[in-house]
Structures are given as C-alpha cells and as structure tokens.
A and B are shown apart, each in its own frame.
Chain A
Amino acid sequence: MEGRKSLFAFIVFVVIAYGFPWVLTNDYYLSILILSGITAIGVVGLNLLLGYAGQISIGHAAFFAISAYTSAILTTNYGLPVFAGMAVGIVLSAVVAVVIGIPALKLKALSLAMATLGFGLIVYICLNEAITFTGGPSGFVGIPRFNILGHYFYSDLHYYYLVTGVLTLVIIISLNIINSRAGRALKAIHSSENAARVMGVNVARFKLFVFVLSALFAATAGGLYAHYLSFVAPSSFDYHFSIKLIVMAVLGGMSSVWGGVLGALFLTSMPEFLRMYEELETILYGLILILCMMFMPTGIVGGFSKLAGLFMGRHSKGGKDV
C-alpha cells in the first residue's frame, strides 16, 4: 500500500471538503452535500465489508433505520439529549449487528445477501407497522436538531462541518484498519476463506468485526440523518436504499475508501440534477448505472487512476490501490 499516495488523497479530500462552502454559497447545494456526506459515512463502512472482506449485505439500510429511529424516539418523546440518544441508537445497532451477524456470516455469498436482505425488509416492515412508536408509513416528525453542550447546529453550514468532521474521522479509522493486520486479514478472507484459515486468521471473528464496524458507521450516519432532517420515514430506509448503498460502493470503486465517498456524492447528487427531466428521471438513472458499470467496471476511482496512469505514461493497477 502506497502510504504517500494515500496521504496525498487524504489531503486533497480535506482541502476540497472543507473548502467547498467558500465556493458554494447556494443553500440547496449545501444540503445535497450534507446528505451526500451522511450517506458517505455509511458507504465507507459498507465498502470495508463489501470491497475488502467480500461480504455482501443488502440490509444496511436497517442499521441506518434502527439508529435513526431509536435516537428520534428517545430525544423527542423522552427528552433525552441528542448526543445520548444518538449514542444509544448506535450501540443498539451494533448489538443487533452482532446478533444478526453471528449466524448470518456463516452463510456463503448469495445466501448472506438474502439473509441481510430479509433482515432489512423485516426492520422496514416493523417500522411501517409499529405505528404507536414510529408513526408508521407517514413518518416521525419533530426530531430536535443535533446539539452538543448547548451548541445547536441550526445552520446548514455548521451541520456541514459536523458531517464532514465525522466523515473525516470515519475515513481515518478505515484507512488505518485497511493498512493494519486486520485489513490484511480481511483481504485474505476475500480471496479465500479456507486459505486465510490455514494461515491462522480467525475468519469468523474478523468477519463479525468488520460487519459490526460497518453497522456502527451506518448507525452513525442514521443518527446524523434523523437529527438533520428532523424527520424520518420508513421509506427512506427501504430495500432501495440498501441497494443504493451497494451501488454507491461499487460505482465509486469497491476496493478503495475514496470510492465510497465519491460513489455517495455522485449518486446522492445525481437524482437531484435529474429532477429537471422529471418523467425521464428513473430511466436516466437506470441507464447511467448500466453504462457506468459497463464502461467503468472498477468504478470512479478505478476510472480516475486509469486516466492518471495514461497521463503519467504508466500502467495503473486500476482501482486496486487505495
């Protein structure tokens, strides 16, 4: 792993992410960026699971949802401070991830996909049906904005910095894990579980570790989401959202932390711009997905590094590097 390249990418990210608000003064764009950032936190986590450990989860929206709803209900109905509410939501998501993860991670590829998909659907259906707690299909309103030590993040600009800060933290954690012993273990599991086992990797433990970690990130994002919009509804966390998270990870570039960030930014902002073509929105969205996957199989990051390779006159490894 080229440490220097990774550091360079990190600096570029920090400069762009923190510089954005100076260039962009439009509130609408800022809110899209906030939502992109929140989603990116979840996608970076999912990417660890999908891109590094090679485990498919089509139920990650559930972790967003569990944390978002827990925090929403605790802070709105029981007057808990937002910070505490979010913490409880995140812990609860992690506990659920452990309970689901232990049996589910024994499953092979597509069965695991199905199991996580089923889990996501069950959570979604419960949110819709447990109307007394969740408000049912019409959603849960009046959630307080994020605040800590008396400071309320009422302005979008402040919230943007909050989200970017958390995202930066998540990226640092992820980069560290990838470049550590755990990261190498995960990659070994990805190429062959048996071989990894023979090499003395505790496969079950690492798989559970990365699953719970990705759920933690998703849960953090869920909490930030609820306390940004002040409103949550089950439809925000349905099967489509889980699929969208995977698509973001793959479209951005699976084996790169940055892929998750770019994928989230691209797929969160694109539908907003497609709104102009109302009727055609869905068709264009599908078409863009198909074309991107056909012509940029290693995702945006892979496409970039290929391009960079062309300019430098070198053969790039095409998205394999971080």
Chain B
Amino acid sequence: MDLSSFLQYLISGLTVGSTYGLTALGFTIIFNATRVINFAQGEFVMMGGMLSVFFMSALGAGLMPAIVLAITCTTIVGVCMERLTIRPVQGAHVINIIIITIGVSIFIRGMVMLFLGKDTYVLPPFFGQENIIDFFGASIMPQSLWILCITMLVLAGLREFFNKTIFGKAMLACSFEQKAAHLVGISVDRMVMFSFAISALVGSIGGVILTPITMTSYDVGIILGLKGFAACILGGLGNPFGAAAGGLMIGVLEAFGAGYISSAFKDAFAFIILLAILFVKPSGIFGKAEIERV
C-alpha cells in the first residue's frame, strides 16, 4: 500500500463523502422536525446541479449567478413541497407521509426529465481551471478543496444557526418536543416549513459543489439520496453532525473499497459495512441508545 494512492483514495472519498454528508444533514433536519424521512432529499441535490447547468446555458448567466439562482429555486421547491403536500396531511401515519415524499421525488424527477432532458451535464470547476495540486504524490483537484471547504462552512454555519440564533433554537426546541415548543409560543408549522427550506438549501449546495467533479443528470438524486440516508443512519439518526461524519465515512470506505478491492462492487461496500455496523451497534456510531417509554 503506497502513500500516494492511499492519499488519493482518501481525498476522493472525502470529496464525495462531503456531498453524502450534506444530503444526510438534510434528512436529519427534516427528521428532527417531523419524524419523517424525506425521500425527495436526493432530488434537492440533483436540482442543485441540474438547475445550475440550466441557468448557465439557457439564461446565459455566469457560473455564480446561476448557482445562486439554482439554490434559491430548490429552496423554494422545498418550501412548496412542505406547504402543498406535508402540511395538509398533518397527523397522518409516518409511512403514508414517507410515500408522499416518494411521490414528490418521482414527480420532481419527471419534471426535470421533461423540461431539462435526459442528458448528462457537467459544471465548470469553480474559480478557474484545473491547477492540479501535487500532494505527496496524490493529485488533488482544486474543486475537491472547494467541496471540503464549503462543506465545513455549511456545517459551521448550521451550528451557529442552531446554537446562536433564536430561530435555530426554536427549531431545536420543536425537534425535542413539539407540544412544549408550541406552548412557549413557537409556531411549529413555520419551523417545519423552515426545516424543509434549510434541507433543500443544504442539499442543493451539495449538488452544486459536486457537479463539477461527477456530472449530473435527472436521475442522480436516487443514489445520492440512498447514500445520504445510509450516512444519517450510520451517524445516528437525528444527530446532524453525526450525519455529516457518517457521510464522510461512507465516502471514504467506498473509495478504499473501489481502490483496493474492486471498483465494480464500489456501491456495495458502503452498504455491507453499514449493515455490519448496524448489527453491532443498532443506534449508529454517534447515536445514543434509544430508551422506549412504555
């Protein structure tokens, strides 16, 4: 095992893993507010990338304005999803709500396929062309560094938001106990809506930063969503920073599996290890064991 390929796998794993982490973060935020796994989360990631490409080519916008527009649009879609499909069915069975989110994901995928086509697209790397950095024999694309930096920034931003702002604290309160939050005057409805907005925002950022490296098409949301879901279970469901860490781990494991064992089974490694961990520690790596009240 030589150092340069080890580093190479590690870096590519961390790069892709960041996006899984951001997707997982989105799952966690909505889960905390509603106890629902939003199966349309991967679609937010896909929209981030696809819409950026669309705004760049169709409107002739520059890269940055296109990205901002794409993230804004995805966030609006997140809000609309909550208003139109989740809020009207409050109190419904969790499985029913999950199926609604599956319906929404199919719907979004269909819309994107219809209006933006079935082709594969790519975004130019941010801030100039490739100046591949040589790092102990491993070559790093500047975009990888951007992905890592932006992920860290988003995480730090969310941390500040949840710990420092009154809004973030209100959302945390809702995730712990909705009734109590309601009693102290927090509008639970509005917090749930915000949770959709934030996870759409975070998801689409993930999609945007990944697109220059891995390309995008209307159907990339499925696998990204699944990996994100895996990441948040691995990290311990309901724990946002565990979810981000879970994403990084899945990314790295996958990269090592593909590099050292077989690239054909790349997608399987992450899930095999996930199963093994779940069977040993059902609450996930950073999750606390759940105590059930009878």
Contact = CB atoms under 8 A, between A and B. Distances in A.
Contact of A115 (B93, B96, B275, B290): B275
B275 A297 contact: no
Nearest to B27: A110
Contacts of A280: 110, 114
B290 A286 contact: no
Contacts of B292: 193-194
A72 interface: no
Contacts of B61: none
B279 interface: yes
A297 B96 contact: yes
B96 A118 contact: no
B11 interface: no
A56 interface: yes
Contacts of B103: 286-290, 293
Given A117-B226, A122-B268, A250-B95, A282 B113 contact: yes
Contact of B278 (A111, A194, A279, A297): A111
B294 interface: yes
A126 interface: yes
Interface in A44-69: 50, 56
Nearest to B111: A283
Interface stretch (B2-10, B155-163, B174-182, B229-237): B229-237
Contacts of A50: 95
A193 B292 CA distance: 10
B138 interface: no
Interface string B274-294: 110011001110000010101
Contacts of A106: 279, 282
Given A111-B233, A125-B267, A286 B105 contact: yes
Interface of B is mostly: helix
Interface in B195-230: 222, 226, 229-230
Contacts, number: 126
Interface string B44-85: 000000000000000000000000000000000000000001
B100 interface: yes
Interface of A is mostly: helix
A247 interface: yes
A254 B93 CA distance: 11
B1 interface: no
Nearest to B86: A294
A247 B102 contact: yes
Q: In which size bucket is the chain B interface?
A: 35 or more
Contacts of B93: 297
Given A50-B95, A194-B294, A195-B294, A294 B89 contact: yes
B58 to A, nearest CB: 19
A290 B85 contact: yes
B264 interface: yes
A251 interface: yes
B88 interface: yes
A98 to B, nearest CB: 14
A224 B283 CA distance: 38
A294 B88 contact: yes
B278 A286 contact: no
Nearest to A238: B222
Given A126-B268, A286-B105, A297-B93, A118 B114 contact: no
Contacts of A279: 114
A118 B271 CA distance: 5
B267 to A, nearest CB: 6
B278 A108 contact: no
A157 interface: no
B100 A289 contact: yes
B230 A118 contact: yes
A250 B229 contact: no
B152 interface: no
A239 interface: yes
A140 interface: no
B69 to A, nearest CB: 23
Interface in A63-110: 103-104, 106-108, 110
- Residue picked from A108, A247, A294, most chain B C-beta under 10 Å: A294
A119 B271 CA distance: 8
B196 to A, nearest CB: 15
Interface of B: 37, 85, 88-89, 92-93, 95-97, 99-100, 102-111, 113-114, 222, 226, 229-230, 233, 237, 264-265, 267-268, 271-272, 274-275, 278-279, 282-284, 290, 292, 294
Given A118-B274, A294-B85, 6 more contacts: A104-B279, A111-B237, A114-B229, A117-B226, A286-B106, A290-B85
20 contacts: A104-B279, A106-B282, A108-B290, A117-B226, A117-B230, A119-B271, A129-B264, A192-B294, A239-B222, A251-B99, A279-B114, A280-B114, A287-B107, A289-B106, A290-B103, A290-B104, A293-B100, A294-B89, A294-B100, A297-B92
Closest 10 pairs between A and B when the two form their complex, measured CB to CB: A286-B107, A282-B110, A289-B103, A286-B106, A283-B110, A118-B271, A290-B103, A103-B279, A114-B233, A125-B268
